[in-house]
Amino acid sequence: MDRDFIDSTSTTQEEFEEIFLLTDDIIKDPLKYSNRCQGRILADLFFEPSTRTKFSFEAAMKRLGGNVIGFTNTSNTSLSKGESFGDTIKMVSSYCDIIVIRHPKEGSALLASENSCKPVINAGDGGHNHPTQTLTDLYTIRNFKKRLNNLKIGICGDLKYGRTVHSLIETLASYENNHFTLISPPQLRIPDYIFDVYLEDNIDYEEVSSLENAIFDLDILYMTRIQKERFSSEEEYKRVENCFILNKDLLKNAHDEMMIMHPLPRNKEISFDVDDDKRAWYFRQAKFGMYVRMALLLKLLEV
């Protein structure tokens, strides 16, 4: 693997499988890995709010025997005094062994890696990419479906700003014979660069605006929230706020082996009555994220 984990498309399928096999072993025997990162320090730099990604990385490092430093409020750092982003990264990297960064600006993780003397993991950069969520998603699919090819994948909701969606499509498009059903209102359709670069002529996909009509033959339904924080106005957000809602009645049209996934957090796009359905994988998906990130830390730290 590369020293850094900035974009999932730079990782080969063979490297993904190595991480997944290691994840399998960690889940099977976590005590075996409990001291592998003893004496190592993770710096988590979160310029945006996070629950699952931040806590799962912290839990991952501590379960591996390491320690965590970091911040969630830049007003408590020298950035508030005018220190440049690059200088901040240079300083932090001199105090730790690996950095995890989430930032609202696209390209920030790559810029951090260029200023760091230690490995950098992208935990989300604006609306661009979220490669560790993609690792989690792929592992979850592999765990249930036993394959990452020959799948009918429906992706529903905010496809314009959803960085988890962009990362997932970019990666799953490299596996053979996957079909994508892209479900969104016109104003939240996938950005053109995804079509131009990843959904090329040889990739089977369709764009639709109705979840009800698309759900019946999917292997995976990947729901996403409408990301209010990315909209330029409240009025623009309100127009699409509740455009898709998955509930028990709608699931009657889906087959029994469909997976329901969601990167979380959710708002109203998945009703609570879906949570006890056997097809609901999103909470298991979130838990897998901790184990996958444990495996990624071990790979990048080479311990």
* Co-location of 24 and 101 in the same domain: yes
Residue identified by tokens 């670069």 is: 197
Strands, E assignment, the chain: 41-46, 67-71, 98-103, 120-125, 152-156, 179-183, 204-208, 220-223, 259-261
Q: Check residue 215 and give its pLDDT.
A: 94
**How many whole angstroms separate alpha carbon 263 and alpha carbon 253?**
23
Structural domain contains residue 1: no
Q: Are residues 124 and 229 in the same domain?
A: no
- Span 122-136, average pLDDT: 89
pLDDT tens digits along 268-281:
899 999 999 999 99
pTM for the full model?
A: 0.92
User: What confidence tens digit (pLDDT) does each residue in 35-55 have?
Assistant: 999 999 999 999 988 899 999
159 and 123 inside one domain: no
How confident is the model at residue 235, as a pLDDT? 72
**What single-letter DSSP state applies at residue 189?**
P
| pLDDT at residue 48, as a whole number | 86
Q: What is the pLDDT of residues 146-189, one digit of tens each?
A: 999 999 999 999 898 888 888 899 899 999 999 999 999 888 88
Identify whether residues 140 and 121 lie together within a single domain: no
Instruction: Check whether residue 112 and residue 140 sit in a common domain.
Output: no
For residues 142 and 278, state if they share a domain. Answer: yes
Residues 113 and 207 in one domain: no
Span 210-238, pLDDT tens digits: 999 899 999 999 999 886 666 666 776 66
Q: How many domains does the chain have?
A: 2
At 72, the pLDDT band (50, 70, 90 cuts) reads confident
Residue 2 placed within a domain: no
Strands across the sheet containing 259-261 = 204-208, 179-183, 152-156, 220-223, 259-261
122/171 same-domain check: no
Q: DSSP of 263-281, one letter per residue?
A: -S--SSSB-GGGTTSTTB-
- Give the model's pLDDT for residue 8: 87
Q: Where in the sequence is the domain holding 204, given as residue range(s)?
A: 131-285
Q: Is residue 3 part of a domain?
A: no
CATH number at residue 42: 3.40.50.1370
Cβ atoms of 199 and 174 within 8 Å: the answer is no
pLDDT given at position 143: 95
